[in-house]
Amino acid sequence: MWKTFKNDIDVVFDQDPAARSRLEVVLTYSGVHAIWTHRIAHWLWKKKMYFLGRLLSQISRFFTGIEIHPGAVIGQRLFIDHGMGVVIGETCEIKDNVTIYQGVTLGGTGKEKGKRHPTIEDNVLIATGAKILGSMTIGKHSRIGAGSVVLKEVPPNSTVVGIPGKVVVQDGVKVEKNELDHHLLPDPVSDKFKELEKEIAELKKEVAEYKRKNG
């Protein structure tokens, strides 16, 4: 348990250049507080002390602004940056070395029973305001762009952007989880508009040439 708590502190220094000391992280980082509280609430949940687990998670939500259902399974070195408005559902599974920014929702899509929340594989980055809804897997080393809404499976080493989310595979090159240039993510909708604009310009040029030749 203490090794896990140490990992939760160490990952802050790996991911956040603003972190100055361990004391600062322990006392002021709401993401760390939410994760630590969840680990205790999850232990209570596994012991079938459902009310206590849920009560603890709601207390944590009140103080941190981060809602993690006690049934969610969280691995090592999860980093929740700022974290206000983050929601993680009951059957969600988060593997190791995952980064989540504020406003992210890992939720369900209805009242179905069983596994109804996403599984987030190792080394995934989920940017600000992204929504991942339903029982699906987000593959290893993938990035979910800010504001994206993901409703389908995401293969490993992918970048997802847009509403609904579209996968952009970057020539098979692994997408590093610690790259924070969210504004540089590819935009497939914008790319399509640019293609259409280029085709329209070419058509105008052909029409002008035809008019010139035929007077």
Q: Is 94 helix (H, G, I), strand (E, B) or coil?
A: strand
2-184, superfamily in CATH?
A: Hexapeptide repeat proteins (2.160.10.10)
Query: Average pLDDT, whole number, for the chain?
Result: 85
Residue given tokens 């070419």 in the structure block:
202
Predicted TM-score (pTM) of this structure: 0.73
Domain limits, the chain: 2-184, 185-215
Strand-pair partners of 167: 160
Strand 166-168 with 143-144, pairing = unpaired
Please give the Cα distance from 81 to 84 (Å, whole number).
9
Q: What is the pLDDT of residues 28-64, one digit of tens each?
A: 888 889 999 999 999 999 999 999 999 999 999 999 9
Please give the Cα distance from 42 to 120 (Å, whole number).
18
Please give the Cα distance from 126 to 100 (Å, whole number).
5
Check if the beta carbon of residue 92 is closer than 8 Å to that of residue 117. yes
Q: What is the pLDDT of residues 136-183, one digit of tens each?
A: 999 998 899 888 889 888 888 888 888 877 777 554 555 454 454 555
